Amino acid sequence: MAISDGKTIVGRRNDIEYLRIIAVLLLIPFHCAMVFFSYEPFYVKSTHSHLLLDYFVFLLSPWYMPLLFIIAGMASCYSLKKRTWKQYFIERTKRLLIPFLFGIFFIVPPQPFIAYIRNYPDNSLIDFLKQYFFHIQGDFTGYTGSFTPAHLWFILYLYIFSIISIPLFLLIKKHSEIIVLYLSKQGLLLLYPIIIGLAEQLPSISSKNPFYYYTYFLIGYLIASQPQIEQSVNKEKAFALLLGLLTMTTYLSLIKSSFNFEKYSYSDISFYILRKFNAWFWLIWILGYGKNFLNFKSKILPYTSKMSYPFYIIHQTVIILLAYYIVQWQINIWVQFFSMVILSYILTIAIYHFLVRKNKLLQLLLGIVNQ
């Protein structure tokens, strides 16, 4: 159980908990918008799209997953502060690996099944199951009905990152003074996107580059473990907001043109650099102002904090099942979108509240462990 000093929770800070909850709750409108998004496939796609929904996806996509990985890196730091590395290994396995395996077999399959029957309307559930675990495509998205980890790729990456990083985390703890000396300098913080961008050039798995996301995970650990680095984040937050607004405005104005940039051309490289710096500026702003304004306790925090992880695991399957029917409604696109969002929130929260919260086996399978 966490120790409270009346303002913050030692080992699990309130502001980080709120950021994690907000980020997870944002998944509902984000993935609902993907149903109408003009530029990428999804398990269910509407025949209609809207410019505002496109830009909503573009607005969140540069920094959204990086934020989740940074928060996860910080959570790993807090977990290790109150555990030995062996206890940490066991805790990560219970919290990440077990839910991933359970989700792969019981939570995820309805998503590619919906995609499968949209592509093969005359086929049955049996036909789908016969090919599902044996028909693996290179992109692993499952958008055509093949095997996929779907949104649980995030959990798989976290488990791998957490386990392989144990020796590195112990090394960081041993040499913390040297690390702080080089990484906490205020101006240097704004150059982190260079390292992040270089990491993304390393080999990728589908569109989910593990080296790219691991960099954010490691940065999150360093921020949580080295107070001086977090102080630098706090000092840069106002400047980062200004730069974030400027780069986001430029990014959104160029986004459609970027689809026509020749690969590795000057325009393509410049746009890539812009995107990486834009994401980083927003992350600094979110973390800096989050600590200033979200570091408080509330009665709802323990409930929502415990709910957020199973909410993440369950939410996308709920969205896809609803979307399959809602996109067939002959109504305005905004009625479809908001109906999808509202019903997804209601059903996902209801599943947690009435099923998961009261069932110890489901809690174990969905990664709810003592913090």
The confidence band for 188, taking pLDDT boundaries of 50, 70 and 90, is: confident
Mean pLDDT of 36-57: 96
Q: Which residue has the higher pLDDT, 332 or 256?
A: 332
Per the prediction, the chain carries an average pLDDT of: 91
Nearest-angstrom CA–CA distance, 65 and 107 = 21
Which tokens hold the place of 215? 């960099």
CB 77 within 8 A of CB 227: no
Q: Looking at 94-98, 114-118, 204-208, which range is the least confident one? A: 204-208
Pick from 5-9, 15-19, 187-191, 253-257 the range whose average pLDDT is largest: 15-19
pLDDT at 4 over 50: no
The torsion angle over the Cα atoms of residues 196, 199, 200 and 203, rounded to 10 degrees, is -170
Sketch the domain layout of the chain as residue ranges: 12-365
Other CB atoms within 10 A of residue 259 CB: 7
SS3 for the chain is: CCEECCCCEECCCHHHHHHHHHHHHHHHHHHHHHCCCCCCCCCCCCCCCCHHHHHHHHHHCCCHHHHHHHHHHHHHHHHHHCCCHHHHHHHHHHHHHHHHHHHHHHHCCHHHHHHHHHHCCCCCHHHHHHHHCCCCCCCCCCCCCCCCCHHHHHHHHHHHHHHHCHHHHHHHHHCHHHHHHHHCCCHHHHHHHHHHHHHHCCCCECCECHHHHHHHHHHHHHHHHCHHHHHHHHHHHHHHHHHHHHHHHHHHHHHHHHCCCCCCCHHHHHHHHHHHHHHHHHHHHHHHHHHHHCCCCCCCHHHHHHHHHHHHHHHHHHHHHHHHHHCCCCCCHHHHHHHHHHHHHHHHHHHHHHHHCCCHHHHHHCCCCCC
**Mean pLDDT over residues 41-70, rounded?**
96
Angle at which helices 14-34 and 333-351 cross, to 10°: 130
What pLDDT is stored for residue 138 in this prediction? 67
pLDDT of residue 1: 32
pLDDT in tens, 225-250: 888 888 888 888 999 999 999 999 99
**Mean pLDDT, residues 30-45:** 97
Residues 31, 319: contact at Cβ < 8 Å?
yes
Predicted confidence (pLDDT) at residue 96 exceeds the cutoff of 60: yes
Q: How many CA atoms lie within 13 A of 320 on its CB side?
A: 25
In the structure encoding, which two tokens stand for residue 319, read together? 């969205």
What is the pLDDT averaged over residues 108-137? 91
Give the rounded percent of residues in the chain with a pLDDT score beyond 90. 75
Which amino acid does the sequence have at 211? F
Angle, nearest 10°, between helix axes 85-92 and 153-164? 170
Per-residue pLDDT at 183 exceeds 90 = no
- pLDDT at residue 187 is higher than 70: no
Confidence of residue 278 (pLDDT cuts 50, 70, 90): very high
73 pLDDT higher than 80: yes
The pLDDT value recorded for residue 101 is: 98
How many of the other CB atoms lie within 10 Å of CB of 15?
Answer: 18
Average confidence (pLDDT) over 59-72: 96
pLDDT tens-digit map of 315-369: 999 999 999 999 999 999 999 999 999 999 999 999 999 999 999 999 999 999 8
User: 60-64, 140-144, 300-304: lowest mean pLDDT where?
Assistant: 140-144
Write down the pLDDT at residue 192: 86
Structure-token pair, residue 357: 């919260």
How far, in Å, CA of 22 to CA of 294, rounded?
11
Structure tokens at 120: 């093969």
Q: Which of 32-41, 95-104, 169-178 has the lowest mean pLDDT?
A: 169-178
Model confidence, pTM: 0.92
| Cα–Cα distance for residue pair 85/173, rounded to 1 Å | 12
Instruction: Give the span between the Cα atoms of 145 and 143, in whole angstroms.
Output: 6
